Structure 1
Amino acid sequence: MQVFDAIFTDRGSKYAVSGGKVGSRDEAVEFVKTLCRTRKFARATHNSWGVLLPEGPLKNDDGESGAGMVILRMLEREGLEGEIVVVTRWFGGRKLGGDRFRRVQDAVRHYLDNRG
Structure 2
Amino acid sequence: MPEDFCSMDGQKRQIRAASSLRQNLFREHRKMCCVSMGGENKRSTTDYKAKKRQKVNKTTKSKSPPTVSSDTSLVHSDCPEITHGEVIVDRKSIFQGHAAEVHSIDDVNAVLTKLKMNKKICNAKHNMYAYRIERKTGKGKSSILQDCDNDGEAHAGGRMLHLMQILDQKNTLVVVTRWYGGIQLGPDRFRHINNATRQAIEQAGLLKK
TM-score by shorter chain over 0.5:
yes
- Of residues 190, 194, 202, the one that matches 1:113 is 202
- CA drift of 1:27 comes to 2.3
Q: Is the 8 A contact 1:25 1:58 kept in 2?
A: no
User: Take 1:114 and 1:42, find their aligned partners in 2: how far apart are those partners?
Assistant: 22
- Of residues 17, 23, 34, the one that matches 2:97 is 17
Q: Is the 8 A contact 1:14 1:91 kept in 2?
A: yes
- CA drift of 1:28 comes to 1.3
**Mean Cα displacement is larger for which, 40-49 or 18-27?**
18-27
Q: How is 1:8-47 mapped onto 2 (pairs within 5 angstroms)?
A: 8-47=88-127
- Of residues 85, 99, 103, the one that matches 1:4 is 85
1:59 is aligned to 148
1:100 is aligned to 189
User: Take 2:160 and 2:84, find their aligned partners in 1: how far apart are those partners?
Assistant: 16
SS at match of 2:96: strand
CA RMSD, Structure 1 to Structure 2 (Å): 1.4
- CA drift of 1:91 comes to 0.1
Q: Deviations over 1:21-40 (max 9, x none)?
A: 11223321221111110111
User: Take 1:20 and 1:113, find their aligned partners in 2: how far apart are those partners?
Assistant: 11
Greater share of helix residues, 1 or 2? Answer: 2
Aligned length: 115
Identity of aligned residues (%): 30
- What letter matches 2:90 in structure 1? D
SS at match of 1:86: strand
**1:89 and 2:178 correspond:** yes
- CA drift of 1:77 comes to 1.1
- What letter matches 1:38 in structure 2? N
Greater share of strand residues, 1 or 2? Answer: 1
Q: Deviations over 1:41-97 (max 9, x none)?
A: 111111100011245311011111111111111111111111100010000000111
Structure number with the bigger relative contact order (C-alpha 8 A, sep ≥ 6) is 1
